[in-house]
Each structure stands twice: as C-alpha cells, then as structure tokens.
C-alpha cells in the first residue's frame, strides 16, 4: 500500500491515520465515514505558501472551496493563512459562518445571480472574478444601485488544453467559462470594465483544467496572458496588478499518477512570469493561485463496511459496501480511479481480485474495478484512499441515503466536524400532500 501523509499501520495491524486507529473510527462514528488527515492538509497549504515566500513574490493562495467546503475546513484554511474561492451563495454563506475574513474571499462562477452578487457586495468580499458580459452589466447595475466600488478580475479563456479528463477541461476555447483571448472578447470586456467607475480592475484570471501533472499548460497560459498585458498596457494604459493562474494541480490517486510537488509548480510559474515581465518591461504582478484538489484530495480517506458479495463465475467477483455514488460520484461521473485496502488488515497479502460496488440502484454505481484484496468478509472495513476532494462536496441523497459523517484526525485526536445525516434530515424539507 502507498502511505499518504500520516497514514501507517499500528501495533494492532490496523490502518492508522492522524495517530488514530481507523477501525475504531469506523466503530465509533459509523460508516461510510470521511476521515481527513489534518497534518497533511496543513503541510500542503504550507507547501504552496512557503514556495511563494521563498521566492519573495507577492501572492495569494486561495483554496478552491468547492473541493470540500465545511465550517471546520474553512476555519483550518483561515488558520493556515490562505485566501478562499467560492462559486456560489451557499459556499459564500459557509465561509461567512466560518468567520472567514471576507476581504480574502474571491467569487467565481459563470452564472452568478443578482442575489449572489448582492450578497458578495454586502459582505465586502475581496474580489469578484467576472466571467462574461452579462455579469459585467449586472454587476455594474448593482454597484451603481448600491453606490459602491468592487475589485474585479476578468476570467480569460487562454485557449490552452491541459492534459486531463475531457469533462474537466475548461481552458480551451470551446468552454462555457470566461472571455476568449483570441477572438477579442477579453479585450472588449477589459475596455467595458475600465470605463465603469464602480470597478477596480485588479487583473486577469485563468484556470486551464484539473488534475494536471505538468507545468507546461500553466507556463503557456502565463505567456499568452502576459503578452496581452503588454499589448493592453500600450493600447489602453492598463496595468494588471494581479495575475491569477487558477488551480488544477494534480495528485496521486493510483500508482499511475506521478504528481510533482506544490513548490515545483510555484517555482516554475514564478520563473516564467518573471522572465516574461522583464522581457516586456512590465512590473511583476501579484501571483494568485487556486488549489482545490491538491490541498485536500490525498488527505481524505473513506471508510466503508463490507457487505454482500456476488461471484459471476469466470467473470468477476463483486463486493458491495455501505455507500457508493451517493458519497463519491467521481467513479460514475469521470471513471475516476482509486486504491483501497482493508482497514483492519492493510498489509495482508492479496489473494483475489474484486470489484467494489456501491449500494445505489444503478449498475454504474461502482467505486473500484479489479482491486486486489485479501479474502474479505463481513467484519472487514474498506478504506478508500484519496477521496478528500470532490467526494463529500459532491455527495447526494440518491436512494435517500443519508450523507456520511466527517471526522478530522490530528496528533491522535479525532474530532467530528460534520454530523451524519439522519432520516429526519432527509425529510426535513418535504411537505405533505394535504
Ligand atoms: C475548480 C476550480 C479550481 C480548483 O481546481 P482543482 O483542480 O481542485 O485545483 C480553481 N479555480 C477555479 C476557477 C475553479 O473552477
């Protein structure tokens, strides 16, 4: 098995995380259970922050909270001194309830509503990343109604294809996000924004995709944007104070994935932007990045109780667990791959290959295909690694399954940070027919 963060095997032979026995966690809090290694999340946050500090570059590292947004999580992000990205009123509300300093919150999204924009302005958030002409006009109207000024970035589609899964490509021209750089939309948006007295145009933003393992895409995007910064300085006297290169840094889900360190991304991006700005005689802008997955993904483990199994002779053996696409939809949505072990005997030799099925009424509800495991029975607890990003945050109540609890572990202590949903919670919003 691969040891992420503080995972290890304790003297009972059980999988341990954050100094806590995972089998005991499953017993105490029930399953399915999300467990987060707090020390690893802190280490990742510091990895990004310190890389900028060492290079003495003004920066903001904003956690893309859509990866995993809860009050405790956002409080941890605040403790680590990061900024925060939100993409909806609900994420903004969570941040406000977590006491997150609103001046360090950035608001994204391709269809922010009037209500969401008003909420952002009323809470004086740090900046709004404007995605399209509709939003530009709407925000201008609301700002003049409220007679207020707001910091904005313009979201640019630089036309870079990052190597990743098609479903999560966002940097190519044919994208629902952002103002296109090639066809003049971005420049038109800039001119519109510069004419509006309610906007302080801080700079430009792009986000080229997700689960990216190379720096090439970021460097190409930086080059395209810095070239435009030069052109727009000459043509419109616009000088971008901020260059935001988004998130998308890849992590290790399985042995096929070979991520580079946070500091490597940062170092190469900075080097490139420094070179480019020197070449074009521009001031070095502040560099903002927006890691989501890479801050929380490999810090999360999901624990499941093993249940029924079914042998299809000569084909495969299905082993079912007490969760599935309701708590982790990524395998069904993106064919995402995971590794897993038995939490009660992680080092036992594998002697069969099984496919892990969820319990939802969909044939596509499979968590892992062809997983090598030791002989497995009812008393076993399955630990699926690397579920910290887009797992709980995409969880749902399909089949009216209650959402799992979430526990943070650190230095031998476990803390419940999200309660397990109850059946009562499931019908809380339902109203009777008569
Ligand atoms: C989703 C998203 C991110 C985070 O992406 P990760 O792949 O989780 O790092 C960052 N910025 C924007 C604008 C996003 O939409």
pLDDT in tens, 65-110: 999 999 999 999 999 999 999 999 999 999 999 999 999 999 999 9
Question: Does residue 44 have a pLDDT over 70?
Answer: yes
**262-279 and 216-236 helices cross at what angle (nearest 10)?**
30
pLDDT of residue 182: 87
Which among 297, 275, 247, 265 is positioned nearest to 52, based on CA atoms? 265
Question: Does residue 335 have a pLDDT over 50?
Answer: yes
Nearest ligand 1 atom to the CA of 390 is 8
Q: How confident is the model at residue 377 (pLDDT cuts 50, 70, 90)?
A: confident
- Structural domain boundaries of the chain? 8-37+299-426, 108-291
pLDDT in tens, 125-142: 999 999 999 999 999 999
Q: What is the percentage of the chain residues whose pLDDT exceeds 90?
A: 93
Question: Does residue 176 have a pLDDT over 90?
Answer: no
Which among 414, 379, 411 is positioned nearest to 29, based on CA atoms? 414
Q: Strands, E, within 246-335: which ranges?
A: 286-289, 300-312, 316-321
Catalytic: which of 127, 196, 206, 361? 361
pLDDT in tens, 251-300: 999 999 999 999 999 999 999 999 999 999 999 999 999 999 999 999 99
Cα(433) to centroid(ligand 1), Å: 41
Q: How confident is the model at residue 168 (pLDDT cuts 50, 70, 90)?
A: very low
Provide the mean pLDDT of the chain.
Answer: 95
Nearest protein CA to atom 3 of ligand 1, as residue: 247
CA separation, residue 314 to residues 6, 202, 317, 358, 371 (Å) = 39, 62, 9, 22, 16
Fold (CATH) for 108-291 = TIM Barrel (3.20.20)
Question: Does residue 163 have a pLDDT over 70?
Answer: no
Question: Does residue 174 have a pLDDT over 90?
Answer: no
CATH of 8-37+299-426, one of 2.40.37.10, 3.30.300.20, 2.60.40.1120, 1.20.1260.120: 2.40.37.10
Question: Does residue 387 have a pLDDT over 90?
Answer: yes
Q: Strands, E, within 22-126: which ranges?
A: 33-37, 59-64, 83-86, 105-107
Question: Does residue 40 have a pLDDT over 70?
Answer: yes
361 is catalytic: yes
Count of alpha carbons within 13 Å of 60, Cβ hemisphere only? 23
Cα 3 versus chain centre, distance: 21
Cα(206) to centroid(ligand 1), Å: 10
Q: Is 280 annotated as a binding residue?
A: no
Question: Does residue 170 have a pLDDT over 90?
Answer: no
Mutate to test the pocket of ligand 1, among 48, 248, 294 (most ligand atoms within 8 A of CB): 248
Q: How confident is the model at residue 321 (pLDDT cuts 50, 70, 90)?
A: very high
Q: What is the mean pLDDT of residues 347-370?
A: 97
Q: What is the mean pLDDT of residues 222-246?
A: 97
CA separation, residue 75 to residues 21, 136, 388 (Å) = 25, 31, 16
Cα(376) to centroid(ligand 1), Å: 37
Q: Is 248 annotated as a binding residue?
A: yes
Question: Does residue 36 have a pLDDT over 60?
Answer: yes
d(CA 304, CA 1): 18
Q: What is the percentage of the chain residues whose pLDDT exceeds 70?
A: 97
Map tokens 């006009």 to a residue: 137
pLDDT in tens, 3-27: 999 999 999 999 999 999 999 999 9
């Amino acid at each position: 098995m691969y040891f992420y963060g503080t995972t290890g095997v304790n003297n009972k032979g059980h999988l341990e995380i954050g100094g806590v026995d995972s089998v005991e966690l499953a017993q105490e809090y029930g399953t399915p259970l999300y467990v987060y290694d707090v020390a690893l999340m802190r280490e990742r946050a510091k990895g990004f922050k310190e890389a900028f500090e060492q290079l003495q570059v003004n920066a903001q590292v904003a956690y893309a909270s859509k990866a995993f947004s809860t009050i405790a999580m956002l409080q941890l992000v605040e403790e680590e001194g990061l900024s925060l990205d939100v993409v909806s009123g609900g994420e903004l509300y969570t941040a406000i309830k977590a006491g997150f300093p609103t001046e360090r919150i950035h608001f994204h999204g391709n269809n922010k509503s009037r209500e969401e924009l008003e909420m952002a302005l009323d809470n004086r958030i740090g900046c709004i990343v404007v995605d399209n002409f509709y939003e530009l006009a709407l925000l201008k109207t609301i700002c003049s109604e409220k007679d207020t000024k707001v910091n904005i970035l313009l979201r640019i589609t630089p036309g870079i294809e990052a190597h990743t899964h098609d479903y999560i490509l966002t940097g190519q021209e044919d994208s629902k996000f952002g103002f296109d750089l090639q066809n003049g939309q971005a420049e038109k948006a800039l001119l519109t924004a510069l004419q509006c007295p309610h906007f302080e145009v801080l700079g430009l933003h792009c986000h080229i995709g997700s689960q990216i393992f190379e720096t090439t895409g970021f460097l190409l995007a930086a080059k395209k944007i810095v070239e435009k910064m030069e052109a727009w300085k000459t043509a419109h006297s616009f000088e971008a104070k901020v260059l935001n290169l988004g998130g998308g840094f890849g992590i290790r889900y399985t042995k096929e994935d070979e991520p580079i360190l946070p500091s490597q991304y940062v170092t190469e991006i900075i080097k490139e932007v420094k070179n480019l700005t020197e070449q074009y005689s521009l001031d070095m802008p502040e560099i903002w990045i927006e890691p989501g997955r890479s801050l929380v993904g490999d810090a999360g483990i999901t624990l499941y109780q093993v249940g029924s199994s079914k042998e299809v002779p000569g084909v495969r053996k299905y082993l079912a667990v007490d969760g599935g696409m309701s708590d982790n939809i990524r395998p069904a949505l993106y064919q995402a791959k995971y590794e897993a072990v038995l939490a009660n005997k992680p080092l036992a030799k594998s002697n069969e290959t099984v496919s892990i099925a969820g319990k939802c009424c969909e044939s596509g509800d499979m968590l892992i295909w062809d997983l090598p495991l030791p002989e497995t029975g009812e008393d076993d607890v399955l630990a699926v690694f690397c579920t910290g990003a887009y797992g709980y945050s995409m969880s749902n109540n399909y089949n009216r399954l209650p959402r799992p609890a979430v526990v943070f572990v650190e230095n031998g202590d476990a803390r419940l940070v999200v309660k397990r949903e109850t059946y009562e919670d499931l019908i809380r919003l339902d109203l009777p027919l008569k």
